[in-house]
Structure 1
Amino acid sequence: MRTTTLGGCTVEVTQLALGCAGLGNLYQPVTDEAALATVEAAWDAGIRTFDTAPHYGLGLSERRLGSALRGRPRDTYTVSTKVGRLLVPNPGGGAGDDLADGFAVPATHRRVWDFTADGVLRSLEASLDRLGLDRVDIVLLHDPDEHAEQALREAYPALERLRAEGVVGAIGVGMNQSALPARFLRETDIDVVLLAGRYTLLDQDGLTELLPEAAARGRSVMIGGVFNSGLLTAPRPGATYDYAPAPGPVLDRALRLLAVCERHGVPLRAAALRFPFGHPAVASVLTGARSPLEVRDTVEQLRRPIPDALWDELRAEDLLTPGTPVPVATSSKEPS
């Protein structure tokens, strides 16, 4: 699978990255065996970039990912994790589950926002312990929406020092909005932004400021949420968008996208996967999976040929923001 070096550093990412929230029992339980098989299927498909976080299943995702990668040569894969939420044990082990935060795991811990320098170091140390690794390749500030100033003044300098010391290879920010990551690009020396849900066939907000800023500065963007919480896999009433039922106008737009794709014989999810690669700042697309079947389907969809005429019709139907770059035509024989 094609690899790209992140702008500003030497860390490489594969064209597809495995998002590991599902390994942390996102919304529903996943067995240890299924989690292991999912990572193995990704490996067999050529995926060598894996993104996780303490938030995902209160550390379960990190533990499962570390276990699945154990024994593989450390220089053959890239691991990304995040800081900003410390996991603090609940008294007596906690009661109930963590479904209020989206994960089907026992509520053994609670999350505490912490973007201090000390919080960064404590979070990373705990992540390394759960992963069973002596280093990670990418560390991202995770959702600092309500903590922007502290993240800029305290957390970012701590990450910059870790990068300078060679403890981590690349640093950045991971968010579901584009304005604050664009500010980080302007005011700091981050290597990468993980942008979720804001550069998709449904929402090209990232093109307004963030992606041009990244391209101008020679920095990279990894795109998550290309299916917008599932709406672009099967648009229908009741489908979710941004983790909630899709509003009527958004659903209508998704159905129009589906109709265009069907006229060209292309599955909507294939077009959604390929779309972000039209922008030169995009280094990788990150998709979640909780089974080998989902991994294999994602790889298959990315390899599907997509004609230029599909993008032309999306433009003609005003379904793409004017000036949006699109991928070049692909063939089923193109290496991925």
Structure 2
Amino acid sequence: MRENPLGRTTVRVSELAFGAAGIGNLFTEVSDDQAAQAVAAAWDAGVRYFDTAPHYGLGLSERRLGAALRERPRDAYVLSTKVGRILEPTPGAHGDDLADGFAVPAAHRRRWDFSAEGVRRSIEDSLNRLGLDRIDIAYLHDPDDHAEQALDQAYPELERLRAEGILGAIGVGMNQAELPARFVRDTDIDAVLLAGRYSLLDQRGLAELLPLAAERGVGVVVGGVFNSGLLADPKPGATFDYATAPGELIDRALQLKAVCERHGVPLRAAALRFPFGHPAVASVLVGTRSAAEAVDAAEMLNHRIPQALWAELRERGLLPIGVPTPGEVE
């Protein structure tokens, strides 16, 4: 699988990234064996970039990912995790974490913390769960309501950790494009993980963030290319942006699917390849919870897409005229 430099850094990421929320029991349980098999299948398919976070399963994702990668050469893969939520033990707690989306016991609670002390503690805790001594990329995770603390305290602490060699690169990961653009303007951030805002259905990232990232040499990893499922399988009841998709969006996704099918291309393949039309994009991240999903994502990313498909999408008004599209992949 092709690897790309992450912006101006020395970090190189595979074009397909393994999103590890699923192996943190996102919505439903996954066994330890299934999690290990998912990581192994992704590795066999050429994936060398793996993304996790303390938030995912209250640390379960980090523990499982670290275990699955333990026998792999450390210099052969890139791993990212995130800061901003501290996990505090809750002795004697009952129930589960499904209110926050994860089918795990509520043995910890999350505490927002973008202070310098909180960031350093978060990284130390993540290293312990992962069983590693360094992290390739650390993202500020969803600082939407904590922008000033993240800019004034968390980011400088990540710079110190990077200078100490504990981190390779600093990023911000969000479901919006506006605040990441501020980080790109006001800091020397290395990367942006942009979820759901640069897809076949939603190009809000193109308004400011992506051109600014390209200008500043900031690498972009695009997540949420299926927009919560609508572009994976468009049908009534499908979800978009974590909610039931409105009828007009379902109709648009079905039109996209019809054009793709005329060119012999699965919609999933076009959705995965589309972000690479922009020069700032280094990788696409797909949430993966099974070996079958890992194999499918790699096959879809490598599917040949003719230029005529992108041309027809423009002609039919399903992509704006000015949106860049990828070159042909053989």
Q: Does the pair score TM above 0.5?
A: yes
CA distance in structure 2 between the aligned counterparts of 1:257 and 1:34, rounded to whole angstroms: 33
Instruction: State whether residues 199 and 207 of structure 1, in contact with CA within 8 Å, keep that contact through their aligned partners in structure 2.
Output: yes
Q: Which residue of 1 aligns with 2:111?
A: 112
Deviation at 1:41, TM superposition (A): 0.5
Deviation at 1:146, TM superposition (A): 0.6
Q: Which residue of 2 aligns with 1:334?
A: none
TM-score normalised over the length of structure 2:
0.98
Supply the AA of the counterpart residue of 2:137: I
Deviations 1:116-152 (A, max 9, x none): 0000001010000000001110000000001111100
Instruction: State whether residues 204 and 321 of structure 1, in contact with CA within 8 Å, keep that contact through their aligned partners in structure 2.
Output: no
Deviations 1:99-130 (A, max 9, x none): 11111001111111000000000101000000
Q: Does 1:33 align with 2:33?
A: yes
CA distance in structure 2 between the aligned counterparts of 1:129 and 1:330, rounded to whole angstroms: 40
CA distance in structure 2 between the aligned counterparts of 1:299 and 1:315, rounded to whole angstroms: 26
Deviation at 1:6, TM superposition (A): 1.4
Deviations 1:1-59 (A, max 9, x none): 11112123211111111000001000110000000000000111111110000000000
Q: Which residue of 1 aligns with 2:75?
A: 75
CA distance in structure 2 between the aligned counterparts of 1:65 and 1:221, rounded to whole angstroms: 22
Q: Which residue of 2 aligns with 1:191?
A: 190
Q: Does 1:62 align with 2:62?
A: yes
Aligned-partner SS, 1:91? coil
CA distance in structure 2 between the aligned counterparts of 1:177 and 1:249, rounded to whole angstroms: 22
Deviation at 1:178, TM superposition (A): 0.3
CA distance in structure 2 between the aligned counterparts of 1:112 and 1:249, rounded to whole angstroms: 38
Q: Which residue of 2 aligns with 1:282?
A: 281
CA distance in structure 2 between the aligned counterparts of 1:151 and 1:237, rounded to whole angstroms: 39
Gaps of 5+ in 2: none
Deviations 1:296-326 (A, max 9, x none): 1111111111111110111111111331110
Q: Which residue of 2 aligns with 1:212?
A: 211
CA distance in structure 1 between the aligned counterparts of 2:246 and 2:124, rounded to whole angstroms: 41
Instruction: State whether residues 83 and 122 of structure 2, in contact with CA within 8 Å, keep that contact through their aligned partners in structure 1.
Output: yes
CA distance in structure 2 between the aligned counterparts of 1:72 and 1:297, rounded to whole angstroms: 22
Q: Which residue of 2 aligns with 1:300?
A: 299
Q: Which residue of 2 aligns with 1:174?
A: 173
Deviation at 1:252, TM superposition (A): 1.6
Aligned-partner SS, 1:266? coil
Where in structure 1 do 4 or more consecutive aligned residues deviate above 2 Å?
A: none
Supply the AA of the counterpart residue of 2:269: A
Q: Which residue of 2 aligns with 1:155?
A: 154
Deviations 1:278-306 (A, max 9, x none): 11000001111111111111111111111
CA distance in structure 1 between the aligned counterparts of 2:67 and 2:81, rounded to whole angstroms: 15
% identity of equivalent residues: 70
Supply the AA of the counterpart residue of 2:20: C
Number of residue pairs aligned between Structure 1 and Structure 2:
330
Instruction: State whether residues 97 and 105 of structure 1, in contact with CA within 8 Å, keep that contact through their aligned partners in structure 2.
Output: yes
Over aligned residues, Cα RMSD in angstroms? 0.8
Q: Tell me which moved more, 251-260 or 119-128.
A: 251-260
Q: Which residue of 1 aligns with 2:136?
A: 137
CA distance in structure 1 between the aligned counterparts of 2:311 and 2:7, rounded to whole angstroms: 30
Aligned-partner SS, 2:57? coil
Deviations 1:256-289 (A, max 9, x none): 1111112212110010011001110000011111
Q: Which residue of 2 aligns with 1:225?
A: 224
Aligned-partner SS, 1:58? coil
Q: Tell me which moved more, 58-67 or 295-304.
A: 295-304
TM-score normalised over the length of structure 1:
0.97
Deviations 1:188-236 (A, max 9, x none): 0000000000000010000000000000111110000001111111100
Instruction: State whether residues 273 and 302 of structure 1, in contact with CA within 8 Å, keep that contact through their aligned partners in structure 2.
Output: yes
Supply the AA of the counterpart residue of 1:146: D
CA distance in structure 2 between the aligned counterparts of 1:155 and 1:8, rounded to whole angstroms: 21
Q: Which residue of 2 aligns with 1:5?
A: 5
CA distance in structure 1 between the aligned counterparts of 2:260 and 2:163, rounded to whole angstroms: 46
Deviation at 1:82, TM superposition (A): 0.1
Instruction: State whether residues 138 and 170 of structure 1, in contact with CA within 8 Å, keep that contact through their aligned partners in structure 2.
Output: yes
CA distance in structure 2 between the aligned counterparts of 1:165 and 1:91, rounded to whole angstroms: 34
5 Å-filtered alignment, 1:97-108, equals: 97-108=96-107
Supply the AA of the counterpart residue of 2:13: V
Q: Which residue of 2 aligns with 1:311?
A: 310
Aligned-partner SS, 1:39? helix
Instruction: State whether residues 134 and 165 of structure 2, in contact with CA within 8 Å, keep that contact through their aligned partners in structure 1.
Output: no
CA distance in structure 1 between the aligned counterparts of 2:188 and 2:53, rounded to whole angstroms: 22
